[in-house]
Amino acid sequence: MKIKIGIENFVQNVKIQKHFALLTNPTGISSDLKADLDLLVENNVNVVKLFGPEHGISGAEADGIKVENEVEPRYKIPIYSLYGSHLRPTDEMLDRVDAVIYDIQDVGLRFYTYIYTLAYMMEECGKRGIKVIVLDRPNPLSAKIEGPVIKKKFESFVGGYGLPLRYGLTIGELATYYNDFFKMNVDLEVVKMEGWSSMYYDETGLLWNTPSPNLPSLEHTILYEGFCLLEGINVSVGRGTVHPFKYIGAPWMDDRIYEEMQKIPHPGIEFRKRAFIPLTSKYKDERCNGLEFFVTDRNKIRPIEFALNFIRIIKNTYPQKFEWEIANGKYHFDLLIGDAKYREGIDEGQSGEDLSKLWIDEVREFKRIASKYFIYRR
């Protein structure tokens, strides 16, 4: 049975206001694949400005690439980039806007930049008395909560607001948490879904709504939970190939990585030897040797533990080649996982199972906090 998403409920019950802005990208679609902007215009919603997050409102730009302002070609509406010269909307951008509509598919993981674009928009609207309307969509990874909670000194545009790595909230629930817990003072409206509970995306009856260029399927997204952490070391995570976050390797790897990985428990995941050549990103145009991964049981897989074990084994197998990546004077891995103690633990030889015990109490506390903001049945 297909669930009903926020955009569909909104256009059926829209309360017309003078001037709307829309923060969206290609994931802003109805269940029959109609673009949210078209639906709003057809229902006489006066959209006067558009905003786009990372990858742009078109979704065509590569990760990390700054996006310029432009004009929507059909309706001649100005598009303001929130991943270019500005991460936050300015006075000029929000001038003559009565309400901002947010309609973007989330992935439920802390290092996805869209959720910080939402937070920054809410903060700026709260200062100016502008209403924010979040059109709710499924959390594709269900309502499960796991992983370390980010610490204040490691906050960045890939992690913040006291979130665990996998936070188990829909985007509407997350916005409600932001607004209340961080006192953003926003006139917030969440347009709810109908029929969603704690389910994976393929249980919603909806077609896969590709969140960004490197997550072409639910399987890739499940692996991304753990393997995004490998962006903090000097390996390719498959960006620039047909299988980002399924291919992991480097030019200096060999068959030893397969042999060593076979020695550790890997419930819910299988892998094979794989060579690949990234066309973009790290090791562009170089042959990488490594592994290809397959999710065999998503209820058993422990992506974060597995990724931590994987990093430890890479480090131990190739000690002369392994490096922690540094970005702006900080370890990128620390920013992704949210603390220094996991990198330090790997350096000391601790296993993923050992390190996973460090976040048990943090997850328990976040569940207690988050339960106040649940909209849907768990």
DSSP 249-261: EETT--THHHHHH
Chain centroid to CA 122: 18
What's the rounded Cα separation, in Å, for the pair 185 and 196? 28
Q: Output the CATH code of domain 6-205+367-373.
A: 3.40.50.12170
User: Which uninterrupted H or E stretch holds 116?
Assistant: helix 114-128
For residues 247 and 238, the answer to whether their CB atoms sit within 8 Å is yes
pLDDT at 88: 98
pTM, 2 dp? 0.96
Angle between helices 360-370 and 171-181 (to 10 degrees): 90
Q: Residue length, the chain?
A: 378
pLDDT at 13: 85
For residues 320 and 282, the answer to whether their CB atoms sit within 8 Å is no
Task: Report the candidate in 263, 221, 266 with the shortest Cα–Cα distance to residue 246.
Answer: 221
pLDDT at 124: 98
State how beta strands 78-81 and 99-103 pair. unpaired
pLDDT at 327: 86
Residue 365, amino acid: E
Q: What single-letter DSSP state applies at residue 240?
A: T
Tokens of 184: 């953003």
pLDDT at 227: 98
**Domain residue ranges in the chain:** 6-205+367-373, 218-339
For residues 244 and 238, the answer to whether their CB atoms sit within 8 Å is yes
In angstroms, the Cα distances linking 322 to 67, 252, 283, 289, 338 are 33, 9, 14, 14, 21
Identify the bridge partners of residue 244 per DSSP, sorted by sequence position. Answer: 247
pLDDT at 113: 97
Q: Output the CATH code of domain 218-339.
A: 3.90.1150.140
Task: Report the candidate in 28, 54, 33 with the shortest Cα–Cα distance to residue 213.
Answer: 54
The three-state secondary structure class of 165 is strand
Radius of gyration of the chain (CA): 21
What's the rounded Cα separation, in Å, for the pair 180 and 186? 9
Task: Report the candidate in 294, 141, 140 with the shortest Cα–Cα distance to residue 209.
Answer: 140
For residues 154 and 91, the answer to whether their CB atoms sit within 8 Å is no
For residues 167 and 110, the answer to whether their CB atoms sit within 8 Å is yes
Tokens of 10: 């909104």
pLDDT at 15: 73
pLDDT at 14: 80
Neighbour order of strands in the sheet with 247-250: 247-250, 288-295, 269-276
Chain centroid to CA 117: 11
Tokens of 337: 């996982």
136, burial (CB in 10 Å: exposed 0-12, middle 13-18, buried 19+)? buried
Task: Report the candidate in 293, 297, 312 with the shortest Cα–Cα distance to residue 353.
Answer: 312
For residues 322 and 234, the answer to whether their CB atoms sit within 8 Å is yes
Give pLDDT tens digits along the chain (378 positions). Answer: 699 999 999 998 887 778 999 999 999 999 999 999 999 999 999 999 999 999 999 999 988 899 999 999 999 999 999 999 999 999 999 999 999 999 999 999 999 999 999 999 999 999 999 999 999 999 999 999 999 999 999 999 999 999 999 999 999 999 999 999 999 999 999 999 999 999 999 999 999 999 999 999 999 999 999 999 999 999 999 999 999 999 999 999 999 999 999 999 999 999 999 999 999 999 999 999 999 999 999 999 999 999 999 999 999 999 999 999 998 899 999 999 999 999 999 999 999 999 999 999 999 999 999 999 999 999
